[in-house]
Amino acid sequence: MFGDIMIRKTEHKDKAEYIEMAKNFYNSPAVLSPIPDSHFENTFEEFIKRNTYAEAFIFEYDNKIAGYGLIAKTYSQEAGGIVVWIEEIYVKEAFRNKGIGSEFIEYVKNNIPAKRYRLETEPDNIKAQELYRRHGFKNLEYVNYSLET
């Protein structure tokens, strides 16, 4: 906990609030396109039953739920070990500009060991890019591809 910010693992009791926030995130300019509602349920069930590949965290500010963060874990030969992807950082509008995103990034770096930490952002999300650079992230010159199954 830092000041009025607390970061904790998501619990069963957080399901409705998490899904509402995730839907808000996926209907914002921070992402390229919305996703089916079933993905929110599947994701919640995955990180509640195990934390092998995905973990979720709730952000609280003054004892109120202020947002959430998701991470995913992979292995990279290039990095020489575990890579933690910061998949999503969502802060409710009323709680923005209070250092919550920064606190989550530092929490991940200090509490979830990895050889590399990665994240991505929509190209027009300049505020997110500035936040990531302040925390030492550098732009990788990869071109991303995706295949949905």
149 is a domain residue: no
Contact 60, 49 (CB under 8 A): no
Q: Using one digit for the tens of pLDDT, what is the confidence trace for 61-109?
A: 999 999 999 999 999 999 999 999 999 999 999 999 999 999 999 999 9
Q: What is the tally of structural domains in the chain? A: 1
Supply the pLDDT for residue 1: 44
Supply the pLDDT for residue 72: 95
Q: What is the mean pLDDT of residues 125-136?
A: 93
Contact 118, 81 (CB under 8 A): no
Please, what's the largest Cα pairwise distance for the chain?
43
143 is a domain residue: no
User: What average pLDDT does the structure give for the chain?
Assistant: 92
Supply the pLDDT for residue 32: 87
77 is a domain residue: yes
109 is a domain residue: yes
CATH number of the domain where residue 61 is located: 3.40.630.30
74 is a domain residue: yes
37 is a domain residue: yes
**Domain containing residue 112:** 5-134
142 is a domain residue: no
Supply the pLDDT for residue 92: 97
Residue 3 pLDDT > 70 = no
14 is a domain residue: yes
